[in-house]
């Protein structure tokens, strides 16, 4: 699948959908009424993406509270999304120095009370409905195994998983079940969110891994193998993998350039597309792109979802030209740096600004690739 403009998955929720979620949580409406609101919102956002001219569309993650909900319907992991967010160290967009960042909230690692098992394939249902609304290809997002493993309480889960790597194996099995369902439903572009991979360049995150008795280098090697195992063997399906440093309501929670992990990560990943955050200096230079495998497309996230400022076409073109010094232009594409609403609250960007940013990307791509 050749795409020069991509999206990361989540889009700003309309106020009516946010209110429906809130009323559902308060018990004021039933699940059926919530689903009706979600259906209407998905139809509208798919049509909006078609109108803008995006070559592939998403459902905006309108059935989720956070981007991590794709793994919530797994036995013993129902509280996964909440636990993942509780583990984040949230740092404001305007504060770069780690020592000035907000302190990490209390960790809430997940204890396995039974072996992992897929209970309900939510991403498959999301895809099927969205694809039924359009003739444009729909891509679906799922959570990668590295992020799941980083929340795992190995010590507290010994009764079920004496070997923590057996847990990672089961994560892969569950993820492959999700992907198989998507492929069976006709999905030809599966996007894997792997924000945890930036932990391996972020000093506080590395220290947290060591405090858990883990060797970060060993964990990275094993989780990269797991990321590959999830997507291997599904012929005819395009797989993308997205790295970022945090995006919740305009916050970031990790920092560090790609350089320390680039050779291993970019050369080992078997995904067709790697979507990289490149909207601030925290990402570093484009030099690490030299390690990307031939044939892999790098999607440059050069438009910010955290800032209301709409970038110019000239700025996007200049960034792509800079990246092309390190990787052939034919292996490049562009996108926003992350989703516009990793959580239901969304970032401090208006819907108009969101769509204008996509228009800038489309115009820049037309100028670059024709």
How many other C-beta atoms are found inside a 10 Å radius of the C-beta of residue 110? 21
Burial of 286 (0-12, 13-18, 19+ CB in 10 A): buried
User: Which band of pLDDT confidence, cut at 50, 70 and 90, is reported for residue 212?
Assistant: confident
User: Which band of pLDDT confidence, cut at 50, 70 and 90, is reported for residue 76?
Assistant: low
| Span 99-120, pLDDT tens digits | 323 434 334 578 888 999 999 9
Residue 122 CB contacts under 8 Å (≥ 6 apart), including other chains: 63, 69, 70, 72, 73
Does residue 358 register a pLDDT over 60? yes
Q: With contact defined as beta carbons under 8 Å apart, do 42 and 129 qualify?
A: yes
User: Which band of pLDDT confidence, cut at 50, 70 and 90, is reported for residue 92?
Assistant: very low
The two counts, helices (H) then strands (E), for the chain are 11, 8
Which stretch of 193-197, 235-239, 353-357 has the lowest confidence by average pLDDT? 193-197
- Size of the chain, expressed as the number of residues it contains: 370
Does residue 86 register a pLDDT over 70? no
Give residue 73's pLDDT: 75
Residue 230 CB contacts under 8 Å (≥ 6 apart), including other chains: 144, 145, 172, 175, 176, 179, 192
> Helix, strand, or coil here: 190?
strand
Which of 202, 59, 260 has the alpha carbon at shortest distance from 142?
59
Give residue 108's pLDDT: 54
Q: With contact defined as beta carbons under 8 Å apart, do 360 and 335 qualify?
A: no
Burial of 156 (0-12, 13-18, 19+ CB in 10 A): middle
Average pLDDT score, the chain: 88
Give residue 104's pLDDT: 40
Give residue 248's pLDDT: 55
Q: Which two tokens stand for residue 219?
A: 């964990």
Is the Cα dihedral 361, 294, 338, 72 positive or negative? positive
> Helix, strand, or coil here: 95?
coil
Q: How far apart are CA 290 and CA 43, in angstroms?
A: 40
Give residue 87's pLDDT: 41
Side-chain half-sphere of 154: how many Cα atoms within 13 Å? Answer: 14
Q: How far apart are CA 41 and CA 278, in angstroms?
A: 30
Average the pLDDT over 117-145 and give the result.
96
Q: With contact defined as beta carbons under 8 Å apart, do 80 and 119 qualify?
A: no
Give residue 85's pLDDT: 42
Burial of 294 (0-12, 13-18, 19+ CB in 10 A): exposed
More confident residue, 344 or 329: 329
Give residue 253's pLDDT: 61
Does residue 232 register a pLDDT over 50? yes
Does residue 251 register a pLDDT over 90? no
User: Which band of pLDDT confidence, cut at 50, 70 and 90, is reported for residue 94?
Assistant: very low
- Backbone φ and ψ for 299, nearest 5 degrees, come out as -95, 115
How many other C-beta atoms are found inside a 10 Å radius of the C-beta of residue 304? 23
For 15-369, CATH number? 3.20.20.210
Give residue 324's pLDDT: 98
> What percentage of the chain exceeds 70 in pLDDT?
89
Q: With contact defined as beta carbons under 8 Å apart, do 68 and 143 qualify?
A: yes
Give residue 47's pLDDT: 98
Domain ranges of the chain: 15-369
Does residue 5 register a pLDDT over 70? yes
Q: Is 8 left (phi over 0), alpha (psi -120 to 50) or beta?
A: alpha
| Span 282-338, pLDDT tens digits | 778 999 999 999 999 999 999 999 889 999 999 999 999 999 999 999 999 999 999
Does residue 208 register a pLDDT over 90? no
Does residue 359 register a pLDDT over 90? yes
Q: With contact defined as beta carbons under 8 Å apart, do 365 and 5 qualify?
A: yes
More confident residue, 203 or 223: 223
Give residue 252's pLDDT: 56
- Backbone φ and ψ for 116, nearest 5 degrees, come out as -65, 140
Give residue 205's pLDDT: 86
Give residue 213's pLDDT: 87
């Amino acid at each position: 699948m050749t795409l020069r403009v991509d999206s990361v998955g989540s889009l700003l929720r309309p106020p009516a959908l946010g209110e429906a979620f809130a009323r559902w949580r308060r018990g004021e409406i039933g699940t059926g009424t919530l689903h009706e609101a979600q259906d209407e919102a998905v139809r509208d956002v798919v049509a909006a993406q078609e109108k803008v001219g995006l070559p592939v569309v998403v459902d905006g993650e309108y059935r989720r509270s956070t981007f991590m909900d794709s793994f919530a319907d797994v036995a013993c992991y129902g509280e996964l999304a909440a636990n993942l967010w509780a583990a984040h160290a949230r740092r404001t967009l305007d504060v770069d120095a780690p020592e000035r960042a907000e302190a990490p909230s209390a960790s809430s690692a997940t204890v396995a009370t039974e072996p992992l098992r897929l209970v309900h394939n939510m991403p498959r249902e999301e895809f099927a409905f969205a694809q039924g609304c359009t003739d444009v290809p729909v891509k679906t997002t799922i959570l990668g195994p590295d992020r799941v493993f980083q929340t795992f309480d190995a010590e507290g889960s010994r009764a079920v998983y004496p070997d923590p790597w057996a847990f990672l194996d089961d994560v892969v099995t569950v993820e492959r079940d999700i992907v198989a369902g998507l492929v069976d439903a006709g999905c030809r572009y599966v996007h894997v969110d792997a924000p945890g991979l930036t932990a391996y360049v972020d000093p506080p995150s590395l220290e947290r891994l060591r405090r858990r008795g883990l060797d970060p280098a060993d964990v990275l090697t094993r989780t990269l193998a797991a990321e590959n195992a999830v997507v291997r063997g599904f012929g005819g399906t395009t797989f993308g993998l997205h790295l970022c440093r945090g995006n919740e309501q305009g916050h970031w929670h990790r920092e560090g350039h790609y350089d320390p992990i680039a050779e291993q990560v970019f050369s080992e990943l078997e995904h067709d597309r790697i979507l990289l955050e490149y909207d601030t200096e925290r990402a570093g230079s484009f030099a690490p792109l030299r390690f990307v495998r031939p044939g892999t497309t790098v999607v440059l996230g050069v438009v910010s979802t955290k800032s209301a400022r709409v970038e110019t076409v000239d700025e996007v073109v200049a960034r792509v030209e800079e990246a092309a010094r390190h990787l052939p232009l034919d292996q490049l594409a562009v996108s926003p740096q992350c989703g516009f609403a990793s959580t239901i609250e969304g970032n401090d960007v208006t819907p108009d600004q969101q769509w204008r940013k996509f228009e800038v990307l489309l115009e820049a791509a037309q100028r670059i690739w024709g």
